[in-house]
Structure 1
């Protein structure tokens, strides 16, 4: 498209200054990309113009179109963000920076036909069709950035969507393996993203273009059938529109009636959902009524239902209960005079604009950039939706949660107080409970749906009223995370359950680690200890982290004691607490070269006959016998005080500590005592 056509199509209400900004941005982009070409051979700046035109159709402010023209300059040319700021100001610079950050990823995920200067990049490996759509192939970290950017400034994501749409329109110039991979990513992520923003225009085209490359045979089959039936369908639609006009005029209901195009991918999904063939799909014949106000919507619905018999289970009231992307309309299907169904949508003009342009329909060109209240509510909803996802640090898990919780079809459930909650289709009472409140989810023990008790794997349907039965205390079951049981379907609920168990395990490990260390300190006769200093010396941020690792076994007690005993003050305490030597030499220990030397057993490591041992000369007390792997010996600095010793004639008995782990039960201590007594062991 020539730039002049873009200027002619700019939204109404643009001031001369707005148009001048767009013109300057084009001139700057043209100069920056001079000499660069797409895979198609056309000048690269043509892509920038196409992106700007898509944004213009969404009627966005001038700085967004300017940023659309400049969106690849920082990534692909010597232009810097400082240059953009100097020429176009902070607002345009912010938007270009946002798009650039989303574009720092492998070329395949960008989905573009990049400039010739980058054509020598290494080809990506071929991806077999069966592997398409895996989150590993979708560069999860970049997609995570895209989602979080949507909560920060939706304008950045609109530019990214426009960029992706034009790249999909020209995807035929890319290598085949890249076509399939980019198309699958678009179908999995970017089309649902456009839907979440309520932008129908972008959604349906992204879906159809992607479907063409992902399943080319199915695409050709449906497209061919549509083309073959088009003359009959158009004739039937004209007849249906005329009948509706006569009917509504008779009831004094003003309406704009039009045939509603059915798109190829939506037909394919309907075929899958209903497990049917194209010829049996009734809603390929579809019309739309646009009426002045909401009362007229319901008046028109009443007249239509009186005249033609409604098709069961095909009525949806999205005016009373809007979709999560704020979509509103009445949907119905009726049996027409030819005994074949026709689908009918009824909405106001405002609802129509919102459905077509989504969040972009709410820009109001006002001084100071103020937006209407509904726009602010949409942004608030998006940020709220992203808040919990921002806590998920694993990028692949984040993308999985977006696909399962944000992009899936929705159902609308009611609380006992009548509040409506939208959830992903297939959600269970546990998913509902966690959506209401994390604590309610943790304590969920049962549910009533429409007044009847149901199992926790019950699939909720639109219109269900759900009451959660809770315990006073307690937490979730690990079974809830078992996919085979089908108890939890949303990633959001799964994430909260995992956090609960991790916290529980951390608390248990913290208590175990602290108890282990404190018991060792008590045995060594150590009182006050600077835990913060010790944790820092071992590379931990807090003592709690240190004790958790000690509790799990990641940190050994011997390593902890080694570090601990390096302190000179602690060494003096350990030495002072060494056991008193017996009054006479012991035959149990043989000190090499020194017969009859006083010796005593160290309490820190309790050496037993058979252990590899070493002696340590304690002032005035002879030799203290340690195990060779005793932390105190390993850290001893006065190596000349160490003695080579061995076991002699052992007749005396040695006290040893015994640690027993068992499940608590009645008679446990009695059974342990009996077992020890049976072995002639004194306690």
Structure 2
């Protein structure tokens, strides 16, 4: 065992002592040592694309997990996360050596296979399914992806782009949904660099050239606010915070703007001690700088679905420069950076045994999504569009709060509540006012529905609903309606007839004129009146209505009863 590897082990344990949110003892440290040596031996003969020992990868993952404050189980799983996949170690062996919890974590992040697009989808489904049982699985996987992104330069260009785009499309949004913004920011800029290298370099150069001038403006605002806060005895820390290059790139594309038209690629972050101080700081800022009214947002009173809380304001300097400012508490900043990790640590118990309600709700929605779409051909499409997209919260009938993608309509909400409500939706009210079904909802809107007695699905609905799942349910309902229309229908008619020549001939002619087939005829001629039982096949309700109407008008028909078969 090389001396530098012993140094790496010492560094890992030191990192755990520094950041771990759980008490460490000799037994736990021995478990880490055991996992370290085992992973080292398992990967000893393997090399990464860079030519370096493969072991540097699981070690880097374990260190990152230690920096995130995780306990010995998760750090050990980080060290061991590739031994099943790449070193032919069985799950049973891991369970025998390290216990069931660690073996389950390692198995959760292990791929089923490594060949083809379909295998990528199956592997993702497996990881997400394991995450429903233990959310730490996806955290280990995200850290694994982050380190792989940091070493992508050693792969060929095609492989680099493919891996980076997959991370941007799937794993970055997962990190965002889990509130892990620090990891998300690191991951998306690394992925942007390799997925779109030309765009990345051009934007990086432009941002660098403009940053110095903007920093000067922000420093002046920061100095003014520091003095103002001190006079009001408000304890606050002011930081100049850059936005990620990818978020700038995405904003430019979304708004069809150039970098010269975007001012907030650098923002001021004001950190205070408590919520009251957030609002005090906002008031002081607006006393010294003119705010832009439509740019003031309160994500403290109305938190976002990804756990994010903050006050946002955009102010104008005396020279007319626009400056965006975020105000939040230090705890909000920790939650903003760590998200689900912070909540798991705060619960102080094993995440499977007790979880904050936000985590439970997210895992429940993930489980429901997997139940609906696991194994289906459009799994990845729906995952990206519906489950990983930016979300808002709305209230149904003023009570039930549901999370739905941004840009959703009342009809999307109706189908999210239940398929039956969606199919029978006639009209909607938003915040007490009747709106078209294509109305775009905003966060915390209250939605009510007026329902028909039976399905009223229209093909035009497909033109404006936002969610892939909604479109699938509408198409399903339309197919069912079409099938019901085209399927032959049967009915029995019981007629009491006058004994008169040609009566049956007239009845047969009515059926022929309405294009209705007589399947069978059974007449009882004994007694009076005569009884005639007909079994008919028809295509739609109007046909049957016309026949009944014509038969009723016949003077020879004394009585008529029918029932649908």
TM-score bin, normalised by smaller chain: 0.7 to 0.9
What residue is the counterpart of 1:40 in the other structure? Answer: 50
**Is structure 2 residue 14 aligned with structure 1 residue 8?**
yes
Cα distance in 2 between the residues matched to 1:364 and 1:56? 12
Q: TM-score, normalised by structure 2?
A: 0.80
* 1:296–1:418 Cα change, 3 Å: farther
* 1:504–1:666 Cα change, 3 Å: closer
* 1:282–1:661 Cα change, 3 Å: closer
Matched ranges for 1:121-520 at <5 A: 139-364=120-345, 369=350, 375-389=355-369, 390-415=371-396, 417=398, 421-462=402-443, 464-471=445-452, 473-479=453-459, 482=462, 485-486=463-464, 488-497=465-474
Quote how far apart the aligned CAs of 1:73 are: 0.6
Q: Which sits farther off after the overlay, 145-154 or 257-266?
A: 145-154
What residue is the counterpart of 1:57 in the other structure? Answer: 67
What residue is the counterpart of 1:89 in the other structure? Answer: 99
Quote how far apart the aligned CAs of 1:356 are: 0.4
Match of 1:23 among 25, 33, 41: 33
Cα offsets for 1:605-661 (capped at 9, x unmatched): xxxxxxxxxxxxxxxxxxxxxxxxxxxxxxxxxxxxxxxxxxxxxxxxxxxx99664
Cα distance in 2 between the residues matched to 1:37 and 1:207? 26
Match of 1:77 among 78, 82, 87: 87
SS in 1 for 2:254: helix
SS in 1 for 2:295: coil
* 1:236–1:396 Cα change, 3 Å: farther
Quote how far apart the aligned CAs of 1:330 are: 1.4
Quote how far apart the aligned CAs of 1:418 are: 6.9
Cα offsets for 1:428-462 (capped at 9, x unmatched): 11012233444433322112334443221122233
* 8 Å CA contact 1:415, 1:467 repeated in 2: yes
Cα distance in 1 between the residues matched to 2:255 and 2:319? 22
* 1:393–1:89 Cα change, 3 Å: closer
Q: Which sits farther off after the overlay, 71-80 or 137-146?
A: 137-146
* 8 Å CA contact 2:134, 2:352 repeated in 1: no
* 1:455–1:369 Cα change, 3 Å: closer
Q: Which sits farther off after the overlay, 419-428 or 266-275?
A: 419-428
Cα distance in 1 between the residues matched to 2:309 and 2:196? 31
Quote how far apart the aligned CAs of 1:417 are: 2.7
Cα distance in 2 between the residues matched to 1:366 and 1:419? 26
Quote how far apart the aligned CAs of 1:360 are: 0.7
Quote how far apart the aligned CAs of 1:298 are: 1.6
Quote how far apart the aligned CAs of 1:48 are: 0.8
Quote how far apart the aligned CAs of 1:79 are: 1.9
Cα distance in 2 between the residues matched to 1:26 and 1:450? 58
* 1:480–1:306 Cα change, 3 Å: farther
Quote how far apart the aligned CAs of 1:497 are: 4.0
Bigger relative contact order, structure 1 or 2 (CA pairs below 8 A, ≥6 apart)? 2
* 8 Å CA contact 1:98, 1:156 repeated in 2: yes
Cα distance in 1 between the residues matched to 2:546 and 2:97? 84
What residue is the counterpart of 1:104 in the other structure? Answer: 112
* 1:376–1:229 Cα change, 3 Å: same
Cα offsets for 1:103-122 (capped at 9, x unmatched): 123257xxxxxxxxxxxxxx
* 8 Å CA contact 2:296, 2:311 repeated in 1: yes
SS in 2 for 1:84: helix
* 8 Å CA contact 1:61, 1:365 repeated in 2: no
Cα distance in 1 between the residues matched to 2:391 and 2:353? 26
What residue is the counterpart of 1:66 in the other structure? Answer: 76
Quote how far apart the aligned CAs of 1:305 are: 2.4
Cα distance in 2 between the residues matched to 1:211 and 1:368? 37
* 1:223–1:34 Cα change, 3 Å: same
* 8 Å CA contact 2:236, 2:272 repeated in 1: yes
Cα distance in 2 between the residues matched to 1:264 and 1:138? 31
Question: 5+ residue gaps in structure 2?
Answer: 493-518, 521-534, 552-565
Cα distance in 1 between the residues matched to 2:546 and 2:346? 81
Higher strand content, 1 or 2: 2
* 1:57–1:501 Cα change, 3 Å: farther
* 8 Å CA contact 1:363, 1:371 repeated in 2: no
* 8 Å CA contact 1:414, 1:464 repeated in 2: yes
* 8 Å CA contact 2:112, 2:122 repeated in 1: no
* 8 Å CA contact 2:425, 2:451 repeated in 1: yes
* 8 Å CA contact 2:394, 2:402 repeated in 1: yes
Cα distance in 2 between the residues matched to 1:368 and 1:452? 46
Quote how far apart the aligned CAs of 1:9 are: 1.7
Q: Between Structure 1 and Structure 2, whose CA radius of gyration is higher?
A: 1
* 1:47–1:418 Cα change, 3 Å: same
**Is structure 2 residue 543 aligned with structure 1 residue 664?**
yes
Cα distance in 2 between the residues matched to 1:270 and 1:311? 20
* 8 Å CA contact 1:363, 1:372 repeated in 2: no
Matched ranges for 1:537-552 at <5 A: none
Quote how far apart the aligned CAs of 1:340 are: 1.0
Q: TM-score, normalised by structure 1?
A: 0.67
How many correspondences in the alignment? 502
Q: Alignment RMSD, CA only? A: 3.4
Cα distance in 2 between the residues matched to 1:490 and 1:337? 45
Quote how far apart the aligned CAs of 1:265 are: 0.4
